Amino acid sequence: MTRGQLRVYLGAAPGVGKTYKMLEEGRRRLERGTDVVVGFVETHDRPFTEAMLDGLEVVPRKAVQYRGSDFTELDLDAILARRPEVALVDELAHTNVPGGGHVKRWQDVDALLDAGIDVLTTVNVQHLESLNDVVERITGVPQRETVPDAVVRRAEQIELVDMTPEALRRRMAHGNIYKPEKIDAALGNYFRVGNLTALRELALLWLADKVDEQLDRYRADHGIDKTWEARERVVVALTGGPEGDTLIRRAARVAARTKGADLLAVHVVRGDGLAGADPANLTRQRLLVESLGGTYHQVLGSDVPHALLDFARGVNATQLVLGASRRNRLAQILSPGVGVTTTAASGSIDVHLVTHEQARRFSWRARQPGGLGLRRRLAGLALAVAGLPLLTLALDALRPEMALPSDILAYLVLAVAAALVGGLLPALLCAIGGFLLLNWYFTPPLYQFTVAERENVFALVAFVFVAVAVATVVDGAARRARDAARASAEAQTLATLAGSVLHGDNPLDALLERVRESFGLACVTLLERRSEHDPWQIAASVGGPPCTSPGEGESEVPIDDNAALVLSGHPLLAADRRLVEAFAAHAAIALRQQRLGRQAAAAQTLEEVDRLRTALLSAVSHDLRTPLAAAKAAVGSLRSPDVAFSPEDTGELLATAEESLDKLTRLVENLLDMSRLQAGALALTLQPVSVAEAVPRAVDDLGPAAAGVRINLPDDLPEVYADPALLERVLVNVLANAVRYSPPDRPPLIGISEHAGLVDIRIIDHGPGIPAADRERVFQPFQRLGDRDNATGVGLGLALSRGLAEAMGGTLQPEHTPGGGLTMTLTLPSAEGAGAAPVDPALLAHLDLRRTGKAEPV
């Protein structure tokens, strides 16, 4: 079955006309003969929107009951059964009422698309998941209903319903969006010009990214590699040299000149993998690019200019920033270089060649030793020194039988053998020595350094050239083999490092320990300081006694001006320094991430405390104010000399005051007990308690509201090991919750059973129940799962009940009631055999397993 197509009408704010546009498109398709139905449209009592529904078939909504209230939702099953060609579904980010099917409306839309039905829908920019926090910072209004960006980006068409802030405010003032009593508040808060302008810009930029994706896909599908300057993209090429910082900042300034321009940094890795750049520099430059809002990329290519241009054209870049060459004039004459070659082949891409301090600062670096070991080089020299005279004697003895060309070939074989054994130097010795010996002993006139015939001159020169060429190739191959082996070893070390860091609880310590093990060091210390004038401080250290300053170690690897990696144990080899610099750069990143993690954890703790404080103040304000007001009104009325109350009225007022004060007492006790639980200071008196007596007492405590509660008490029920007062409080809290949400004709049922040394007390109701994803949330303090007011309490009862149950060595778990509803199971250890002794640890472990759902069936 072909999947349906999704069309989204995106708006910057409520009232811009998304629903109107959607209905207008639906009517247009209906007039063309398309089968169109309205699945769900929220008109918000706007007359112009309601008028657009005329003539459209509307699928009746599904009625859903939740916590005693009636709601209507999209009837997904009815639309699937109707199977129209197009369905109109408003408010894509809407959260469905629990019990109505999917959690989110966009999941309903996905089901319609999977059934081959095209869907037209609407969404505001503030509901996009990636922009939710940004919108909250702009408007100060949190948006609880969100839709993943990927859902909207998958749409085949996204149409922006745009309107200027001034026009939207005029529409608001004319009463076309909200009712008159809400207009002034809306214009002064959410619908301020600044807010609407920022939201409009967010919508335009988000849609521009989506359009950019579509453009890239179109260019890829049609094989278009030419640059289309639809959006500025600045690519900066990095070599890993010290000039990279200058190039990145220059490219960032170029990108900043155009609103919405992208900054991309790219480093081309040579195809042989041997001529790599400094990894420490690249790591630092990658962080710099990301801090400036850009992205970092690496591509593989043997031809650097070609690879750069391929990448630039692939990302549809408009400008390319390169650094001026660091080579001297002679090198530039022999080869034009990357900059000149790239500029010549760039086509429509603008190329910027940026000068820097390193330009033309070419230095002849000391040549690295050959790839062959000392023993082989000595063997090659010995072969050359001994082989030349021996070969000369042998050829002299065979003079009558061999001509000059054969003699030249013999010396060439010796030069090749010397090159294979000892590399370049022995081969050069053979070539020069062979040339002289051939000229003296075998080239007429003999025993003179002269050549009579031109043909022999060419032969001797060719001999020297071939011998030197072969020696150079052999030496180069050995050098590259050595570099390849070293690169492989470095890659293996870095791979091991990455594994140890990723699987470790402390990445920084794991990284430093890997450095210490890999290079056989005694101690590795990461030092840092705030500025050049401040003393060094130890950020992290592994191994022996840490170094307190860079000078205390045998080797120092600077990371930046205020951070360094100090190594002690033995001096660091020059060949290992490049790899250690990469470790040092990653150590700095790990240190920063470690601190960011701590800051995030601290911020999360503060946020949680603040959230609890806000919820507490919000919830308790009502629960304190209402009973206080009721008690004050009752007492004030009784004290009033202006009214004479009858005995019945006086008793009713006194009962009201007493009931209000009892509510205050319970609230304060709950708050105090929750504080004691969190502080670990709750006093317990654990003893055998009769469940047959505790359950009826808890029912009686609830008064007339629990008159219909049914209790199923089996015979020979054992006692539980618990605190009597706390057990009764747990039962009262849980049972009160069940009574509150149970239908009048189906009161709660209390069932009790015993097995394997545990007693289960099940309080079963047939109310609206709780979705599986939200069942643990009910045990968080001040959570009421969707209640909009505080009339149902502070949301502390279940949180306190679970805490008290666990303090007594038990558990409190929610389960689904077959047929609908919620079952709360309180599990406590049996008192049989326990006496006054502590609860068996194995029994507590079994309780923990039952709570997590991992216990084996008994």
Torsion of CA 10, 13, 19, 22, to 10 degrees: -20
Run of H or E residues at 492: helix 454-502
Main-chain phi, psi angles of 618, to 5 degrees: -65, -45
User: Does pTM top 0.85 for this prediction?
Assistant: no
- Contact, 849 vs 781, CB < 8 A? no
Query: In terms of pLDDT, which residue wins out, 744 or 858?
Result: 744
Which two tokens mark 37?
A: 């139905």
- Please provide the DSSP assignment of 398-460 as one string: TTTT--HHHHHHHHHHHHHHHHHHH-HHHHHHHHHHHHHHIIIIISSSTTSS--S-HHHHHHH
Tens digit of pLDDT for each residue in 808-855?
888 999 998 888 889 999 999 988 745 444 444 443 444 444 344 433
Give the pLDDT band of residue 489 (cuts 50, 70, 90). Answer: low
Query: In terms of pLDDT, which residue wins out, 730 or 499?
Result: 730
Which percentage of the chain shows pLDDT scores above 70? 81
> How far is it, in rounded angstroms, from Cα 593 to Cα 599?
10
Which two tokens mark 585?
A: 């750069």
Lowest mean pLDDT among 565-569, 580-584, 835-839: 835-839
> How far is it, in rounded angstroms, from Cα 804 to Cα 786?
25
> How far is it, in rounded angstroms, from Cα 356 to Cα 21?
55
| DSSP one-letter code for 365 | P
Asked whether the predicted pLDDT for residue 150 surpasses 60, the reply is: yes
| C-alpha closest to that of 694 among 666, 748, 721, 731 | 731
Give the pLDDT band of residue 558 (cuts 50, 70, 90). Answer: confident
> How far is it, in rounded angstroms, from Cα 67 to Cα 69?
6
Q: How many CA atoms lie within 13 A of 844 on its CB side?
A: 11
The contacts found for 149-157 with CB under 8 angstroms, 24 or more apart, are 151/92, 151/106, 151/110, 152/8, 152/10, 152/92, 152/123, 152/128, 153/210, 153/213, 154/6, 155/6, 155/7, 155/8, 156/5, 156/6, 156/7, 157/5, 157/6, 157/7, 157/8
Residues in CB range of 728: below 8 A, 6 or more apart: 694, 697, 698, 701
Q: Which residues of 448-487 are buried (b: 16+ CB within 10 A; e: fewer)?
A: eeebeeeebeebbeebbeebbebbeebbeebbeebbeeeb
Judged on CB neighbours under 10 Å (0-12, 13-18, 19+), 797 is buried
Which two tokens mark 136?
A: 């909250």
Q: What is the pLDDT of residue 329?
A: 61
Which two tokens mark 810?
A: 């038990």
| C-alpha closest to that of 10 among 92, 119, 124 | 124
Handedness of CA 671, 674, 679, 683 (dihedral sign): positive
> How far is it, in rounded angstroms, from Cα 806 to Cα 848?
10
> How far is it, in rounded angstroms, from Cα 385 to Cα 395?
16
Q: What is the pLDDT of residue 367?
A: 42
> How far is it, in rounded angstroms, from Cα 581 to Cα 565?
9
Which two tokens mark 567?
A: 């190594």
Lowest mean pLDDT among 32-41, 334-343, 440-449, 519-528: 334-343
Asked whether the predicted pLDDT for residue 788 surpasses 50, the reply is: no
Tens digit of pLDDT for each residue in 373-400?
678 888 888 998 999 999 999 888 888 8
Main-chain phi, psi angles of 815, to 5 degrees: -140, 160
- Compute the residue count for the chain: 858
Q: What is the pLDDT of residue 333?
A: 59
- Contact, 685 vs 669, CB < 8 A? no
Query: In terms of pLDDT, which residue wins out, 376 or 26?
Result: 26
User: In angstroms, what CA-CA distances link 143 with 151, 194, 607?
Assistant: 18, 18, 17
Which two tokens mark 544?
A: 């022996």
Lowest mean pLDDT among 52-66, 161-175, 194-208, 492-506: 492-506
> How far is it, in rounded angstroms, from Cα 28 to Cα 681?
70
| C-alpha closest to that of 825 among 757, 752, 741 | 752
Strand partners, 499: none
> How far is it, in rounded angstroms, from Cα 291 to Cα 372?
45
Strand partners, 273: none
Tell me what the mean pLDDT of segment 503-517 comes to.
Answer: 74
Tens digit of pLDDT for each residue in 635-663?
888 887 777 778 888 888 888 888 778 77
Tell me what the mean pLDDT of segment 316-324 comes to.
Answer: 88
> How far is it, in rounded angstroms, from Cα 494 to Cα 319?
34
Rg (CA), the chain: 41
Asked whether the predicted pLDDT for residue 112 surpasses 80, the reply is: yes
Q: What is the number of other CB atoms lying within 10 angstroms of the CB of residue 686?
A: 21
Lowest mean pLDDT among 62-66, 432-436, 600-604, 781-785: 781-785
Lowest mean pLDDT among 20-34, 512-526, 743-757, 822-836: 822-836
| DSSP one-letter code for 57 | E
Tens digit of pLDDT for each residue in 593-630?
788 878 887 887 777 666 656 555 555 555 566 677 77
First to last CA, the chain: 47
Asked whether the predicted pLDDT for residue 792 surpasses 60, the reply is: no
The mean of the pLDDT values for the chain is 80
Q: What is the pLDDT of residue 853?
A: 41
Asked whether the predicted pLDDT for residue 718 surpasses 60, the reply is: yes
Give the pLDDT band of residue 796 (cuts 50, 70, 90). Answer: low
| C-alpha closest to that of 348 among 307, 324, 313 | 313
Q: How many CA atoms lie within 13 A of 324 on its CB side?
A: 12
Query: In terms of pLDDT, which residue wins out, 402 or 666?
Result: 402
User: In angstroms, what CA-CA distances link 563 with 516, 536, 540, 644?
Assistant: 18, 9, 11, 84
Tens digit of pLDDT for each residue in 161-211?
998 999 998 888 888 888 887 888 888 888 888 889 989 988 888 887 777
- Contact, 305 vs 267, CB < 8 A? no
Q: What is the pLDDT of residue 90?
A: 94
Q: What is the number of other CB atoms lying within 10 angstroms of the CB of residue 281?
A: 21
- Please provide the DSSP assignment of 731-790 as one string: HHHHHHHHHHHS-TTS--EEEEEEETTEEEEEEEE-SS---GGGTTGGGSTT--TT--SS
Q: What is the pLDDT of residue 364?
A: 41
Q: What is the pLDDT of residue 311?
A: 87
Strand partners, 626: none
- Contact, 247 vs 354, CB < 8 A? yes
Strand partners, 753: 760
Which two tokens mark 290?
A: 């990301």
> How far is it, in rounded angstroms, from Cα 373 to Cα 354?
43
> How far is it, in rounded angstroms, from Cα 115 to Cα 3?
7
Strand partners, 763: 750, 824
Place of tokens 């919508």: 203
**3-state secondary structure string, 702-733?**
CHHHHCCCEEECCCCCCCEEECHHHHHHHHHH
Q: Which residues of 95-106 are buried (b: 16+ CB within 10 A; e: fewer)?
A: ebbbebbbebbb
Tell me what the mean pLDDT of segment 274-283 comes to.
Answer: 68
| C-alpha closest to that of 21 among 40, 7, 39 | 7
Give the pLDDT band of residue 159 (cuts 50, 70, 90). Answer: very high
Q: What is the pLDDT of residue 855?
A: 38
- Contact, 130 vs 202, CB < 8 A? no
Q: What is the pLDDT of residue 114?
A: 92
> How far is it, in rounded angstroms, from Cα 234 to Cα 321?
7
Q: What is the pLDDT of residue 261?
A: 83
Give the pLDDT band of residue 365 (cuts 50, 70, 90). Answer: very low
DSSP percent split of the chain into helix, strand, coil, nearest 5: 50, 15, 35
> How far is it, in rounded angstroms, from Cα 552 to Cα 548?
7
Which two tokens mark 393?
A: 């004697």
> How far is it, in rounded angstroms, from Cα 632 to Cα 626?
10
Q: What is the pLDDT of residue 553?
A: 84
Tens digit of pLDDT for each residue in 473-485?
877 777 777 666 6
Q: What is the number of other CB atoms lying within 10 angstroms of the CB of residue 577?
A: 13
| C-alpha closest to that of 266 among 207, 221, 321, 331 | 321
